[in-house]
A and B are shown apart, each in its own frame.
Chain A
Amino acid sequence: MTLLHVEHLDARHGLLQAVRGVTFEIAAAETLALVGANGAGKTTLLRTIAGAHKPAAGRILFDGADITATPAYARLRTGIALVPEGRRLFAGMTVKENLLVAGVHGRPGPWNIDTVIEAFPLIAQRLNSRAANLSGGEQQATAIGRALMTNPKLLLLDEVSLGLAPVAVEAVYRSLDLLIKGGATIVLVEQDIGRALRVATRVACMLEGRIILEGAAEDMTREQVTQAYFGLRRQATS
């Protein structure tokens, strides 16, 4: 069953067109990895789906409803949560407050502070610490936990491993693996192609605002994705 349908989506930053005619779908319980070089349009695409960036053209259908004009706060209530690039935690608030503030307007579901702590043991001891005082890994775990507190149907993760120590990346991905195995629907922006192929069920590669390669992760080789990543291969496989 299709959960998200993006159709001919364009998004701009002033004169710069960051996303060009992107069309794709994601079914429930799928994990789509979006890969691509810096400036390929991945972050803008995710922010446009989450409602943080207004599209210039195209449509976004979520759970059968057209949400193209729906503001970000209302999209969250329909079940879309974004973990933004750079975490964007509320630095002056504690970890617990960051989680609680997200839980207010979310959907009912299994995620609450206890289940988030269980999924992300990294933050268990830091609940009363201010977000500004956390390590990168702890901040990322809090940011994902904050999104989960809204009990999303679709989780958008933007560069969760960016700027983290390898140990922290492993810890965050261990928790993500559990989410994926639990049937979560995820769109994941990831620079590490190997990791993207490993965790995702499908992979889409973006270049200059377009999806130029898309297909099942198990059918793709690292070389194919790398070629598309650098613009050496422009034919879509699906």
Chain B
Amino acid sequence: MTWVNQLLNGVLLGGYYALLACGLSFMFGVMRIINLAHGDFAVLAACLIFLIADLTDISPFIALIAVLPIMAAIGWGLQRWMLERSLRAGALVPLLTTFGLAIVIENGLFEYFGADTRSLAPYIGDFAFDSWAITSNIYVGSLAVLIFAVAVVLLGGLKLFLTHTSLGREIRATAEDPDTAELVGINARAVYAIAAAIAVASAGLAGMFFAMRAVFTPYSGPEQLIFAFEAVVIGGIGSLSGTLIGGIVLGVAQTLGAQINPQGFFIAGHLVFLAVLAGRLTIAALQARGGVQRLFARRP
């Protein structure tokens, strides 16, 4: 039963990773940019929500309503004033730009908030620790279930938005071919800015749940970025449904790894990530050489 319990909690943990990875995957899928500041945006949102909750004594869920538009505006500005300009200098420059931005955010937060660990758990009362007993031996955390549900709704909603709305179709068209998108009347610059706004706002949402389920410091961003990146790579870069699957695979690997050995939580996740990455690279190399059949074809 312990294994089933761990498996179930791994799936739910995967919901958090999927939520965290959603914006990273979306930004790469549309703009082909890997945002190395993604984890730091999550922490920035967590700090803002903490600040509002602490100053006003309101629920973090209500504070989120104020923070999400701020994060979206930051994403919009990031694209318009930084990424758009850095993209003109080549594909590597945006990567360096977001790396630099990550350092600025971390040190800016450190300057304001200091190095103390914080958490939003005290602001949501028992909900942070409540669990439901499915059987006498299997328990699921109510917060973990909520996070998983939010991840499914966000990823599913985003997918529906991309396929069933005209703005969604414009985003997909721009992601495929920005030059041709302009020829059908789409302002690709505006679409990129909207995509960045969505990506950073979703990082903010993930940041709130991160701060509810754990403690954080101004330097927690890079670790969250690694989890998000691993979930995206495992699930397939740019694929939203793949991101959910990738998050779940990572979460299950971590919880089962911890069941095998208490120190196996992180290492099991990293090993699965490396195995998937190696598998993808091998398949890509084989395809570039003409496919698996050719590899095994008899030589004359």
A94-122: which residues lie under 8 A (CB-CB) from chain B? 97, 100-102, 104-106
B147-204: which residues lie under 8 A (CB-CB) from chain A? 166, 169-170, 172-173, 176-177, 179-188
CB distance from B88 to the nearest CB of A (A): 14
CB distance from B122 to the nearest CB of A (A): 46
- CB of B183 within 8 A of CB of A92, answer no
Which residue of the partner chain B has the closest CB to A143? B180
Which residue of the partner chain B has the closest CB to A89? B180
The segment out of A59-67, A72-80, A166-174, A222-230 that lies at the interface is A72-80
- CB of A104 within 8 A of CB of B182, answer no
Contact size range, B: 10 to 19
In Å, the complex CA distance between A72 and B174 comes to 14
In Å, the complex CA distance between A140 and B93 comes to 37
Chain B residues with CB under 8 Å of A51's CB are: 182
Which residue of the partner chain B has the closest CB to A156? B183
- CB of A84 within 8 A of CB of B186, answer no
A4-44 Cβ-contact flags toward B at 8 Å (1 or 0) = 00000000000000000000000000000000000000000
A186-210: which residues lie under 8 A (CB-CB) from chain B? none
- CB of B180 within 8 A of CB of A90, answer yes
CB distance from B172 to the nearest CB of A (A): 6
- CB of A72 within 8 A of CB of B182, answer yes
Chain B residues with CB under 8 Å of A82's CB are: 183
Which of B169, B182, B187, B188 meets A93, CB within 8 Å? B169
B239-274 Cβ-contact flags toward A at 8 Å (1 or 0) = 000000000000000000000000000000000000
Which of A71, A100, A106, A150 meets B182, CB within 8 Å? A71
Chain B interface mostly helix, strand, loop or mixed? helix
- CB of A146 within 8 A of CB of B185, answer no
- CB of B184 within 8 A of CB of A150, answer yes
- CB of B176 within 8 A of CB of A92, answer yes
- CB of B187 within 8 A of CB of A73, answer yes
Is the C-beta of A123 less than 8 angstroms from some C-beta in chain B? Answer: no
In Å, the complex CA distance between A150 and B184 comes to 8
Chain B residues with CB under 8 Å of A155's CB are: none
Known contacts A100-B166, A101-B166: A90-B177 contact under CB 8 Å: yes
- CB of A50 within 8 A of CB of B186, answer no
Chain A residues with CB under 8 Å of B172's CB are: 90, 92-93, 97
- CB of B166 within 8 A of CB of A73, answer no
Interface centre among A51, A90, A146 (most CB of B within 10 A): A90
- CB of A104 within 8 A of CB of B187, answer no
Is the C-beta of A52 less than 8 angstroms from some C-beta in chain B? Answer: yes
CB distance from A105 to the nearest CB of B (A): 3
Is the C-beta of A91 less than 8 angstroms from some C-beta in chain B? Answer: yes
Known contacts A52-B179, A88-B180, A92-B176: A97-B185 contact under CB 8 Å: no
Known contacts A100-B166, A101-B166, A104-B166: A76-B183 contact under CB 8 Å: yes
In Å, the complex CA distance between A45 and B123 comes to 63
- CB of B185 within 8 A of CB of A73, answer yes
Chain A residues with CB under 8 Å of B181's CB are: 73, 90
Known contacts A52-B179, A84-B180, A104-B166: A76-B173 contact under CB 8 Å: no
Known contacts A73-B188, A91-B176, A92-B176: A104-B170 contact under CB 8 Å: yes
- CB of A146 within 8 A of CB of B166, answer no
Which of B179, B185, B188 meets A102, CB within 8 Å? B185
Chain A residues with CB under 8 Å of B184's CB are: 76, 101-102, 105, 146-147, 150
Which residue of the partner chain A has the closest CB to B185? A105
- CB of B177 within 8 A of CB of A52, answer no
- CB of A50 within 8 A of CB of B176, answer no
Chain B residues with CB under 8 Å of A50's CB are: 183
CB distance from A86 to the nearest CB of B (A): 10
Closest 10 CB pairs of A and B: A105-B185, A102-B184, A72-B182, A76-B185, A88-B180, A101-B169, A73-B182, A90-B176, A73-B187, A90-B173
A residues with a Cβ closer than 8 A to B are 50-52, 71-73, 76-77, 81-82, 84, 88, 90-93, 97, 100-102, 104-106, 146-147, 150
Q: List 28 A-B contacts (CB under 8 A).
A: A51-B182, A52-B183, A71-B182, A72-B182, A72-B183, A73-B181, A73-B186, A76-B184, A76-B185, A77-B185, A82-B183, A84-B180, A88-B177, A88-B179, A88-B180, A90-B177, A90-B180, A97-B169, A100-B166, A101-B184, A104-B166, A104-B169, A104-B170, A104-B186, A105-B185, A105-B186, A146-B184, A147-B184
User: 7 more A-B contacts (CB under 8 A) besides A73-B187, A93-B173?
Assistant: A82-B183, A92-B172, A93-B176, A102-B184, A104-B166, A104-B170, A147-B184
